[in-house]
Chains A and B, each alone.
Chain A
Amino acid sequence: AQKITQTQPGMFVQEKEAVTLDCTYDTSDQSYGLFWYKQPSSGEMIFLIYQGSYDEQNATEGRYSLNFQKARKSANLVISASQLGDSAMYFCAMREGTVQGAQKLVFGQGTRLTINP
């Protein structure tokens, strides 16, 4: 069964520093997609970035990049030049490439990131 693990319950970072949020996953499928979502204190879920298992390049979206290490089954989110507005809960999620698995997003436990001024 697919599983996502985020081992950092909380992270504290100084403003303007880079931060890496860890995510490891477990799946027996060769085809899968990995997502990161941000949940600010207001509660909504905001899509940040996507990485496909067959993508050769690491995904980037503005200040967000995904450090994808397929052999280690890790998909860490890197936020460069952190800002106060980055303070939020961050979730890693996976969708498998099977017919059944494609209908479902499996989420990790989340990491609460706090940016200090």
Chain B
Amino acid sequence: NAGVTQTPKFQVLKTGQSMTLQCAQDMNHEYMSWYRQDPGMGLRLIHYSVGAGITDQGEVPNGYNVSRSTTEDFPLRLLSAAPSQTSVYFCASSYSSSLNTEAFFGQGTRLTVV
């Protein structure tokens, strides 16, 4: 199984450019989420989805958009990239919201905004 697949693995953007980080999972998981990882701050939740057509904001949603048209895919859009969005981005999925459900993570996308 591929699990959670993120593309691209690395990206450099200029300030003001837009782009979409792709995330796909093949485990038929209902729950998907996006995190950003910054040094000294751990992983912070950007947006999450509890199923196709349902999304909600996490801790740091500003500057990011998401949509969930299928169970498999959960893309993250940066509308106008800023240097503050330089980070490592992780997509995660889980099959339920039960307390003991582990999240499966993609390999991450390292984004640099110059």
Bound together: yes
* Residue ranges of A at the interface with B (Cβ–Cβ < 8 Å): 4, 6, 9, 31-33, 35, 37, 43-45, 47, 50, 52-53, 91, 93, 95, 97, 102-110
Partner of B103, one of A9, A52, A105, A108: A105
B40 interface contact, C-beta 8 A: yes
Which residues of chain B are within 8 angstroms of A45 by Cβ–Cβ distance? 90, 92, 103, 105
Partner of A109, one of B41, B50, B56, B88: B41
Q: A43-B88, A43-B107 are in contact. Are A109 and B40 (CB under 8 A)?
A: yes
Q: A43-B88, A104-B58 are in contact. Are A95 and B50 (CB under 8 A)?
A: no
* Residue ranges of B at the interface with A (Cβ–Cβ < 8 Å): 31, 33, 35, 40-45, 48, 50, 56, 58, 88, 90, 92, 97-105, 107-108
Which residues of chain A are within 8 angstroms of B35 by Cβ–Cβ distance? 107
